[in-house]
Amino acid sequence: MKSFIKFLSMFFADNRGMTSYEGDNYAGAYSTEPLQKYPPGELGGEVKAMFERFTLVAADGTGAIAQNDTIKVGKLPKNSFVVDAMLRINKSLGATGQFILGHGASTDEDGNTINADTDGFCPACDAGGQAALSRSDSTSLSLGKRFGEEEDIIVTCSEATDASVDDGVLEVAVFYVNK
């Protein structure tokens, strides 16, 4: 029986040639002396949501939103980081119409520069020909960055909309943790 247990331990032991790593927060809290607490919001942090709705009508009263027009949809509180975001357009905007979600320039909690990124939270939501939904993905490079100061969340029109549609609704949701 002992030899069987020894045989099994070869398969279930941590020393089978694999290396075990620890995340920075884990190491600080459990392995490195003196022990450190997890940074605020990174263990048991409460995810909050910011929601905004905007009817897509241009300043001249038509449905045409021009390329590079922006819509400010909210302010991310100081010392927050975004964990997910989405853009939704309720109907087709005609033949064209794309929007992206990002932020302006800021600093992180250590004072380092965070450059403006027009699609840092959500890639193109393309409502040319159909309703559309876009969520954060692997191209959303601003996810997880901790903004050290209050920051504008901005939707940018990346492809002009068709002037024939003047009642499309753009919905924005940003999910974040604040310390």
The per-residue pLDDT for range 86-144, each reduced to its tens digit, is 999 998 888 888 999 999 999 988 899 999 999 999 999 999 889 999 999 998 999 99
Residue 139: give its domain's CATH number.
2.60.120
Lowest mean pLDDT, pick from 9-23, 56-70, 132-146: 9-23
86 assigned to some structural domain: yes
Q: Which residue range(s) make up the domain with 63?
A: 47-178
What is the rounded average pLDDT for all residues in the chain?
84
The pTM score is: 0.78
29 assigned to some structural domain: no
- Report the number of distinct structural domains present in the chain: 1
Cα 176 from Cα 178, distance rounded (Å) = 7
The amino acid sitting at 60 is D
41 assigned to some structural domain: no
119 assigned to some structural domain: yes
